[in-house]
Amino acid sequence: MKVGFVSLGCSKNLIDTEMGISVFKNHDFEIVANPEDAEIIVVNTCGFIQSAKEEAINTILEMAEYKNNKCKYLVAMGCLVKRYKSDLEKAIPEVDLWISVDEYDDFWKKISTMIGKSVENDYMNYRNRVITTGKKMAYLKVAEGCDNFCTYCAIPYIRGRFVSRKIEDVLEEAEALAKDGYEEIIVIAQDTTKYGIDIYGESKLPELLTKLCEIDGIRWVRFLYAYPESITDELIDVVAREKKICKYFDIPIQHFSDGILKRMNRKTTGENISKVVSKIRREIPNAILRTSLIVGFPGETEEDFEILKNCVSDLKFDRLGCFMYSKEDGTPAAKFEGQIHSATKKKRHSIVMELQKDISDEFLTSKVGNDYDVLIEDITPNGDFYVGRSYMDSPDTDGVIFVANNGEDLMDKFVRCKIVAVDGYDLIAEVV
């Protein structure tokens, strides 16, 4: 049978999708890209915030239309299923099988039962997953779940407590990826800076990054989601020292007002955030700093928002994403007094993004004339430009670099390029 997958949400969810694909391939199913050709369609859902939930439901309903064609079975898996399985079963009868994140050990057993095949033991695992992120970049998930229990976030209730993988297992997977030709390894977890604490009693991220750099074939090592209170001097020193590590810090801050940070159950203060940012920039002058913020959190006053605005202007993050607070079922913040009107959230969001646009323009303009190594991953439909990333660009969240097509085959190669212009949030370059 032919199977099609749709993966929604974060890169951690994508790894689950890749493991699911591998299970089907192990049993000689054909994986197809076009849902029109699929006899089984699997949607891996996200249930993080309201917009993600809406996208997941709309995608499931869209895929259900193919049951009027070749599709015989529709499967929904993932975070949304974990949160709302019983409600979804009643609301969307077109789905033949719902698989929650805590049922992944029985993934193939459930699929086998659905299609009427004999039940065989098979498990989703990291080593056999089918990489879907191109020929050169692969994600490396080092832990599952989260122990931070931020009051706005449902992840601990969906994914459970923070559980690290053994460092030997992670390195073994990384070595296998390198042998398969993957040159950029992106380390991910809900909070990468907590990696290893549950197993070894201390963060093992600095050690892990160092050992990844020792693997032949790996050219870039990138790590995402480093919480500010856990960015240690040791971690900064490792990033500064190791040439293979991209000088890139993704630091989800969410706010700068101490009052709001406390209500969010964040383990830091505005002053500590500023100190961490200053230290990184002092120790690693070419480091790229990315963050994410939430506006409209319950109880956010005009004074709190003013603090947020001032810190955005003062700290000048190179990359910044801003989200309007989403009231999530089962989280403490959903019951907080002082819920902010949607119009106020939208206004504050617009103000922050306008501030950041000027900062981004200044940041990108400063790169014109500089040379960078660019990993080419795509080409524009008209063929005029290749599309790639430098160490400054994390996939799917940051901008890209459009490299003028000089007639050479540059796909899946690292190419030295000179930045010649800015185009919105992207850069334009030429091969040196």
Q: How is residue 241 written in tokens?
A: 């020292």
Fill in the amino acid letter for 131.
I
172 and 39 fall within a common domain: no
Q: How far apart (Å, rounded) are the C-alpha atoms in residues 295 and 300? A: 8
End-of-domain residue from the set 364, 387, 403: 364
Q: Around Cβ 110, how many Cβ atoms within 10 Å?
A: 16
Please check whether residue 120 lies inside any domain of the structure: no
Q: Report if residue 383 sits inside a domain.
A: yes
Tokens of 401: 């670099």
Strands (E) located in 270-357: 288-295, 319-324
Helix (H) or strand (E) holding 408: none
Give the pLDDT of the chain (432 residues) as one tens digit per residue: 999 999 999 999 999 999 999 999 988 899 999 999 999 999 999 998 899 999 999 999 999 999 988 999 999 999 999 999 999 999 999 999 999 999 999 999 999 999 988 767 677 888 889 999 999 999 999 999 999 999 999 999 999 999 999 999 999 999 999 999 999 999 999 999 999 999 999 999 999 999 999 999 999 999 999 999 999 999 999 999 999 999 999 999 999 999 999 999 999 999 999 999 999 999 999 999 999 999 999 999 999 999 999 999 999 999 999 999 999 999 999 999 999 999 999 999 999 999 999 999 999 999 999 999 999 999 999 999 999 999 999 999 999 999 999 999 999 999 999 999 999 999 999 999
Do 339 and 410 fall within a single domain?
no
Nearest in space to 260 (alpha carbons), one of 151, 147, 335: 151
For helices 233-241 and 205-212, the axis angle rounded to 10 degrees is 10
Structural domain count, the chain: 3
What is the maximum alpha-carbon separation in the chain? 63
Task: Check whether residue 296 and residue 399 sit in a common domain.
Answer: no
The alpha helices in 97-137, defined as continuous H runs, are 107-115
Of the CA atoms within 13 Å of residue 381, those in its CB half-sphere come to 0
Q: Is residue 129 part of a domain?
A: no
Per the structure, the complete domain to which residue 375 belongs is given by 371-431
Q: Is residue 124 part of a domain?
A: no
Check which CATH number belongs to the domain holding 313 and give it.
3.80.30.20
Whole-prediction pTM value?
A: 0.94
Q: Is residue 40 part of a domain?
A: yes
The encoded tokens of residue 135 equal: 């020929």
The DSSP letter of residue 339 is P
Residue 122 lies in a domain: no
Q: Are residues 378 and 397 in the same domain?
A: yes
Same domain? For 107 and 142 the reply is no
Q: Are residues 39 and 8 in the same domain?
A: yes
* Domain end position, chosen among 364, 379, 403: 364
With vertex at residue 389, the alpha carbon angle to CA 228 and CA 380, rounded to the nearest 5 degrees, is: 140
Shared domain for 273 and 306, answered yes or no, is yes
